[in-house]
Amino acid sequence: MKSPLLIHAVWGVVALVSFVLGSQFFGSSASGDEEVASQARNSQSVRLSSRDGDSSRSESGGGGNMGDRSAPEKVMSNADLLALADQFNKGKGPIERRLAFSKILENLTVENAQLMREQLLNLSERSDEWREFHYAWGALAGQDAVLLGRDSEERDMAATLAGWASADPASAVAWFNSLSDKEKGDNDLKWGTAFGLADTDPSAATDFAAARLAAGDRDAGRMMDVVARRLFQSGDPTEAMRWSENVPAGELQESAIRRVAEEVAEKDAPTAVSWLTTLPEGKAQERGLDRAFSEWAQDDPVAAAKELNTMSVSPARDAAINGYVSRLAWEDPVTALEWAGSVNDPQARERTMVEAGRAYMRKDGDAATAWLATSGLSEAAQKRVTERRGRDRR
């Protein structure tokens, strides 16, 4: 049997890694759907022990099947759990606190969840433990736990619904579909569902995003990013590649392939490009090549340029050049503009030159101004190069 200390230590590391990944993905914005999505994200390290058959689950909400687990020899009494909560809150270091918190999760039941929640109210709503606790509660109690979040002052519905959706995807989606259109647009509810589905059922998460797209939800494409990220956690990029290829053609597949291409290219850009060239021609392939060559330009611009030179004139090559130029422009704007001028499609060429020109203008305003006068760009395009210079981002 593995040492409990080792198991809990691993839980702590996985939770920290998951939190960092979520922070990188959603950025530092503290408003709108990005904040909600960060609230919903939580570690897959949460593993709950089964409790006395169905008695540990809500009669009306219904938690899902959390997999095969060995029940603890004895569920802690409320007094013992309160002592653990006190140890967690007053712990002298992160290891002591994490061990106590992990023990709380191990002994969490539908019956004691509200009592335990009261002991955690001092936590930040953005903390790992706050999200993990509510994720675990949602997985156990399902709808009942989610509905309690409607009346609470704290933000917990996203994480709770994510837990329910991860444990019982069908019931969580059915409940979400029963909501009014206005409720379905609520960030806590839609992102909580999306994250939970992505954790355990990428196919269901894809279907959910497709339904949101059909409903006019502008965040549907970003939900593909969530699924892709989750698939990459398995360590096998081929699984994510296959998934993206099987997403129905259109906006969602374009988003999926773009994200997968970027993730693969961060580690191995040539492999990403080789894969993308096997895909059918179209917007999905083009968006993927754009991202892959952007990553390649950062790691090895010479090798990326050699690959560009082997590609025949096509929209795919134009997209690849755009990605290459978007990264190279910040290091070598003159060379980037030469490449931008080689884009075949006139409209695409102008867009690429404008973006490269903006980077050049920010890096060396005097030299960029001299280039602009002889660039051959239209007056309107030249204006786009010079406007909002201070707000351009890499």
Q: Name the DSSP letter for residue 49.
A: P
Q: How far is CA 70 from CA 48, 132, 380, in A?
A: 9, 20, 68
* 3-state SS assignment for residue 227: helix
Compute the C-alpha angle 270/358/369, nearest 5°: 130
Chain centroid to CA 328: how far? 26
> What are the tens digits of pLDDT across the range 271-318?
999 999 999 999 999 999 999 999 999 999 999 999 999 999 999 999
Summary mean pLDDT of the chain: 84
> What are the tens digits of pLDDT across the range 144-177?
999 988 888 888 999 999 999 999 999 999 999 9
Tokens of 345: 């499609």
Strand segments, DSSP code E, in 227-281 are none
Chain centroid to CA 268: how far? 20
Rounded to whole angstroms, the Cα distance separating 178 from 43 reads 28
139-153, 256-270, 296-310, 336-350, range with the lowest pLDDT = 139-153
* Residue 45 near residue 18 (C-beta atoms within 8 A): yes
pLDDT at 236: 84
- The HSE-up count of residue 45 (CA atoms within 13 Å, CB side) is 21
Rounded to whole angstroms, the Cα distance separating 302 from 263 reads 21
Q: What does R_g of the chain's alpha carbons equal in angstroms?
A: 25
| Predicted TM-score of the model (pTM) | 0.77
Rounded to whole angstroms, the Cα distance separating 185 from 179 reads 10
pLDDT at 4 over 50: no
Rounded to whole angstroms, the Cα distance separating 112 from 37 reads 27
Percent of the chain with pLDDT over 70: 79
pLDDT at 359: 94
pLDDT at 20 over 60: no
Nearest 5°: phi and psi at 124? -70, 140
pLDDT at 63: 53
Chain centroid to CA 2: how far? 32
pLDDT at 73: 54
pLDDT at 350: 97
Q: How far is CA 366 from CA 325, 362, 373, 384, 386, in A?
A: 20, 10, 11, 17, 12
Tokens of 175: 């409940």
Rounded (10°) angle between helices 4-26 and 220-232: 150
pLDDT at 42: 43
* Residue 187 near residue 33 (C-beta atoms within 8 A): yes
Residue in the block written with tokens 């995807």 = 169
* 3-state SS assignment for residue 68: coil
* 3-state SS assignment for residue 215: coil
Q: How far is CA 354 from CA 276, 341, 391, in A?
A: 26, 11, 14
> What are the tens digits of pLDDT across the range 221-252?
999 999 999 999 877 899 999 999 999 999 99
Chain centroid to CA 148: how far? 26
Residues 123-139 have a mean pLDDT of 94
* Residue 371 near residue 360 (C-beta atoms within 8 A): yes
CA dihedral of 260, 261, 263, 267, whole degrees rounded to 10: 140
pLDDT at 311: 97
Give the ranges where 27-142 is alpha helix by DSSP (H). 32-40, 78-90, 94-106, 113-118, 128-141
Residue in the block written with tokens 């013992």 = 80
pLDDT at 388: 62
Rounded to whole angstroms, the Cα distance separating 95 from 91 reads 8
Closest CA to 320 of 334, 301, 369, 330: 301
pLDDT at 41: 45
pLDDT at 78: 93
Biggest alpha carbon distance in the chain?
80
Residues 59-80 have a mean pLDDT of 58
pLDDT at 391 over 90: no
